[in-house]
Copies of this chain bind each other. A is one copy, B any other.
Amino acid sequence: MQDVDPAWLPDGASRPIGTRRTLIRGTGPLVDTVRGEVEKACRRFGGAVVQDDPDLVLELTGDDGSEAFTYGRRDSRTTVTASGGAGLLYGLFHVVRLGESAFLGEAEREEHRPELALRMLDHWDNVAVHPVMGQVERGYSGGSLFWEDGRARGDLDRVRAYGRLLAACGINAVAVNNVNVHAAEARLLTDRLREVADIAGALRPYGIRTHLSVTFAAPVVLGGLETADPLDAGVREWWAEAVARVYSEIPDFGGFVVKADSEGQPGPFAYGRSHADGANMLAAALAPHGGTVHWRAFVYNHRQDWRDRSTDRARAAYDHFVPLDGEFADNAVLQVKHGPMDFQVREPVSPLIGAMPGTRLAVELQVTQEYTGQQRHVCWLGPMWSEVLRFGIAGETPVGALARGGLVAVSNVGDDPFWTGHPLAQANLYTFGRLAWEPGADPHRVLDEWIRLTFGDGPAAGVRAVLTGSWRTYEKYTAPLGVGFMVQPGHHYGPSVDGYEYSPWGTYHFADRDGVGVDRSVASGTGYAGQYAKPWDEVYESPDSCPDELLLFFHHVSYGHLLKSGKTVIQHIYDTHFEGVEEVAAAAEVWASLVDLVEPARHARVTERFVEQLRSAREWRDQVNSYFFRKSGVPDERGRTLY
């Protein structure tokens, strides 16, 4: 394995355990993993795995598959017990996170148990390099950990190291290929299954189940059948046999991820069948083996006519799926993007969450920073995700709705030596894992945890200052007030205010000389606001009650419209864009001041990224401000330069 960044598991993180005497009780593959971790730490720091007089006891008491563990400390002895191997492993990493404090004082026994059973990363990795999308679709961290130029990587050490990092933040499921399933990738289900099994073998010791994205058209493109109709007996039989073969190679296989009838992918609509029909057919094939189908709700018309203001992409997932509530099988999970559009820096929470009580839902976040700076910009997304997870909708939070489904995110990891391109983007991956374990956690506490593990205490205050407000900073210098999509078409990096304005993608801002924004009210707009349960339908319906940060998502208002902040919309645009750039410059200065406190290669990489972030932020500022100045004719109150 090439020399890679240790991320949140640097040598030093294992010192507290590695200097101590640890007793390990129990057997099984995950206990072996735990023992290996402890032995390695002891070799490094002089401690030992012992049979008596331990400082630390790690004990597996059963074999029930539980991920929970109990932790406590009494009489100078720290004890972790678990009734399942994964629980013991999570308990070990809990001790790692606690560091020296795990071996100080006393601690009441307390149980730790993940609130969500499924904590999953989806890799949009292609096996064959896609002519447009490359090796990793929306990947900003080099190549894929799994695939290279059409083949599986021979060396799985990096995959094992990845699994270890994921276990240390609580992730327990990985889908190893892109939801857009092209020709080479389709065959992972059949004649290339061995390559998936090898990856599953590398991830299994870390409590991670492997999933596969499959094409709905597999019976046709792989099986040579004439149809992929989910109600066709031959099709169902083909899938049953395909699934049986998968489980014969990968007994703990997690299941399928499916993007169907979405952006050109095939799906049940071609056969006049519903998405419940499609998902349940795959669920039926997986059920005998304990597998799950993740069925994505990202279904909308991507060939929309921009002239048609009555069609609203934001409505699509709700309109398609809410009528199907109660029809999905028990082992089918409907995977819903957190917002109604597509991972913009600011969106409302999807109204579908909370509107399907009879369906297992998973929320999909995007750790890879497609629209949030592509890992060239610092943009720690913890606060955004936390807002989503804590949002109250239909009498419950998304967390409640997700208890039976889970939390899923698109991974931001590649074969880059820093894993995530931008070293500080590791914080997003870590935060996702920890929020998936405990969705109500304070994200800033998670951030501090990540900083201390990754950097130690020296630069902690500086790193925190750089990261803590970075999402709001990014929001300030990009698309304003929730309006979204002002990025360059295709690659989605950098500003293009009208880039999607006349496109078929359903992503418009409707700016004219008088105002800007999308009227999604029931009274005069697309009616999207009416998809929300109370009180949000009413809150969003009127520009008077709609929160400022979502105003242009829900309403078309004049440039002179007064925000709750007391500023006009146009002055808000100017002010936030100037502020955003100033905040980036300030963050870059803070980072520069850490030069003696941060490992040199890591410091240099971040410094280099800040140069680009600052250039890009200025470009965003000037293009957005000039665009709205040219349209509105309103000068900046403070007389700053507009072009």
Would you call A623 an interface residue if the criterion is a C-beta within 8 Å of the partner chain's C-beta atoms?
Answer: yes
Please report the C-alpha to C-alpha distance between residue A629 and residue B307 in the assembled complex, in whole angstroms. Answer: 13
Indicate which residue in B499, B513, B623 contacts A630 across the interface (CB closer than 8 Å).
Answer: B513
Most buried by B among A495, A496, A633: A496
**Residue pair B307, A512 in contact (C-beta under 8 Å):** no
Contact, CB under 8 Å: A306 / B643? yes
A37 close to B (CB within 8 Å): no
Could you tell me if A643 and B307 are in contact, using CB atoms closer than 8 angstroms? Answer: yes
Binary CB contact string for chain A from 309 to 337 against chain B (1 if under 8 A, 0 otherwise)? 00000000000000000000000000000
- The answer to whether A502 and B512 touch (CB under 8 A), given A622-B307, A643-B306, is no
- B306–A512 CB distance below 8 A: no
> What CA separation (Å) do A497 and B630 show in the bound complex?
14
Copies of this subunit: 2
Structural contact, B307 and A513, CB atoms closer than 8 A: no
A511 on the B face (CB < 8 A): yes
Residue of B nearest to A488 (CB): B489
Least CB distance, A496 to chain B, in whole angstroms: 7
Contacts of A274 in B (CB 8 A): none
Distance to closest chain B CB from A306 (angstroms): 7
What chain B residues lie within 8 Å of A619 (beta carbons)? 502
Q: Confirm or deny: A44 has a beta carbon within 8 angstroms of a beta carbon on chain B.
A: no
Which residue in chain B gives the minimum CB-CB distance to A308? B643
State the main secondary structure of chain A at its contact with B.
Answer: loop
**Mask: chain A, 534-569; 1 = CB below 8 Å from B; 0 = not:** 000000000000000000000000000000000000
0/1 string, A493-515, CB within 8 A of B gives 1: 00111110010000000011110
Number of interface residues of A (CB under 8 A): 23
User: Which residue of B496, B511, B513 is within 8 Å of A502 (Cβ)?
Assistant: B496
Q: Is the CB of B306 within 8 A of A513?
A: no
**Chain B residues whose CB sits within 8 angstroms of the CB of A495 once the complex forms:** 502
Question: In A623-643, which residues have CB < 8 Å from any B CB?
Answer: 623, 626-627, 629-633, 643
Name A512's closest neighbour in chain B (CB-CB): B630
State A629–B502 Cα separation when bound (angstroms). 14
* Contact between B631 and A631, CB atoms less than 8 A apart: yes
Which residues of chain B have C-beta atoms less than 8 A from A498's C-beta? 496-498, 627
Question: Do B502 and A626 touch across chains, with their CB atoms under 8 A apart?
Answer: yes
Q: Are B513 and A633 in contact (CB under 8 A)?
A: yes
A511 vs B513: C-alpha distance when bound (angstroms): 12
Partner among B497, B623, B631, B643 whose Cβ is within 8 Å of the Cβ of A513: B631
Residue of B nearest to A624 (CB): B502
Query: Which residue of B is nearest A131, CB measured?
Result: B131
Determine the chain B residues whose CB is within 8 A of the CB of A633 once the complex forms. 512-514
CA gap between A514 and B631 in the complex, in Å? 9
Which of chain B's residues have a CB closer than 8 A to the CB of A511? 630
On whether the beta carbons of A631 and B512 are closer than 8 Å, the reply is yes
B-facing residues in A164-206 (Cβ within 8 Å): none
A119 to chain B, nearest CB (A): 38
A512 to chain B, nearest CB (A): 4
Question: Which of A498, A499, A627, A631 is the most central at the interface, judged by chain B CB atoms within 10 Å of its CB?
Answer: A498
Instruction: List the B side residues contacting A502 at CB < 8 Å.
Output: 495-496, 619, 622-623, 626-627
Distance in angstroms from A341 CB to nearest chain B CB is 21
Residue from the set A306, A497, A630, A633 with the largest chain B CB neighbour count within 10 Å: A630
Residue of B nearest to A634 (CB): B513
A47–B183 alpha-carbon span in the complex (Å): 58
| Residues of B close to A513: CB separation below 8 A | 513, 630-633
Top 9 A-B residue pairs of the complex, sorted by shortest distance between their CB atoms? A512-B630, A498-B498, A513-B513, A307-B643, A502-B623, A513-B633, A513-B631, A307-B622, A631-B631
Q: A residues touching B (Cβ–Cβ < 8 Å)?
A: 306-307, 495-499, 502, 511-514, 619, 622-623, 626-627, 629-633, 643
8 further A-B contacts with Cβ under 8 Å, apart from A502-B623, A513-B631, A513-B633, are A307-B622, A495-B502, A496-B498, A496-B502, A498-B498, A502-B627, A512-B629, A512-B633
